[in-house]
Amino acid sequence: MKSLSTISTVILGSKLEMEMSLLLPLALCTLAACGSAAPPPQPTPSPSPLLSLACNSSYVLDIANFVLQDINGDREDGYVLSLNRVSDAREHGQEAGLGSLFYFTLDVLETGCHVLSRRSWKNCGVRTLHKSVYGQCKAIFYINKARRIFYLPAYNCTLRPVSRSEISMMCPDCPSSSPYDLSDPRFLETATESLAKYNNKSPSKQYSLVKITKTSSQWVFGPAYFVEYLIKESCTKSQASSCALQPPNSVPVGICHGSLSEQDSEKSVSVTCDFFKSQAPTPRGENSTVDQRPVNLSKVEEPQQKNTAPTNSSAKAVPKGSVQYLPDLDNKPKGSQGTGPVEAFPVQLDLTTDPQGEPLDVSFLFLEPMEEKLVVLPFPSKEQRSAECPGPAQEDNPLILPP
């Protein structure tokens, strides 16, 4: 006969087993419910503050004209760039009363006008296909129509000459062009002899060579060399003995196109020169912040009364930018893995990498003593551009359109 303690132990064990059997399904049920529960809601990403614009609208094209005008006006070297098409355009509205920042990607073509001529790109013809230099510019442009402020804070451009191999297949007899090929001494000879010919015919003033800016060569009935070069005024014919005393840093006054060809041991030299319009010297940055432009923007109407330039203009008003010249795509760097868009035209313009943006102080643009700051965002990628971009090209040959 079992003892009372033994019976109590058996009864207690049976009770625990019964409780465990009841708790196990409850625990499993609880785990199943937890497993099927919906994950915590993820925060919805805020919409981009950038507004995509139609690249061929008159609104965008007028602003693109302003952008390119300021890029050309800021440069002291090279040739005037013309607009081939707007590749991308975005607008970022700022706080009330501060206007908008625009992010533009422009496909451009080099013209025959040197930037020192200060001609509008619309008055300059683009080069023929076999001499073409094409590329892309990225620019950030600020417009405050209430204050009549049109300001270019930053830009960068990358340019390349058209593919020589492609041109050779299309036109074997066309001149072989190179922007700055001085490896052949005949180019310097061509510039020197053609300028001497011009000076001999000049009735009074004499000119000297500043630098060669373009070269090309061709075989016709013999070798022919072509050069473009800047010239400066050195002296008058009556002062020929004192030419060497002229300031060495005097500014170029014009550009010449010279050629030298040989046939049957006879040499032929030709030359034409175009002179830049004299302009009163203006320090770069002054009067560049408030524009007096007569162009009418369809959505950026300009008031009839013109403001004067800010009295607190400073060096801050000078645009920050550069134009980079690269060899044609036939001359890819060793180890290059193709000619993708980034490699072909590596144009970067990131004033910030912070997706929330960074402040840009533009207080110096305003007449009143106030502190005004814009929000600058990272330059947008073309993957999210408008379906209406890029716009139609003025010159749609694929050889002169960036990929």
Specify the pTM: 0.77
Quick check: 113 pLDDT over 80? Answer: yes
- Please give the average per-residue pLDDT across 219-232, as a whole number: 91
CA–CA separation, 137 and 75 (whole Å): 13
Assign 278 a pLDDT band (cuts: 50, 70, 90).
low
128-138, pLDDT tens digit by residue? Answer: 999 999 999 99
Task: Tell me the backbone φ, ψ of residue 364, rounded to 5 degrees.
Answer: -70, -10
Quick check: 226 pLDDT over 60? Answer: yes
More confident residue, 127 or 221: 127
* N residues, the chain: 403
Quick check: 31 pLDDT over 80? Answer: no
Mean pLDDT taken over the chain: 79
**DSSP-assigned beta bridge partners for residue 356:** none
Quick check: 40 pLDDT over 50? Answer: yes
pLDDT at 313: 40
Token pair 């970067």 in the structure block, residue: 348
Quick check: 239 pLDDT over 70? Answer: no
Quick check: 85 pLDDT over 90? Answer: yes
pLDDT at 305: 33
**Choice among 144-153, 245-254, 373-382 with the minimum mean pLDDT:** 245-254
Bond into 390 cis (ω within 30): yes
Residue type, 345: F
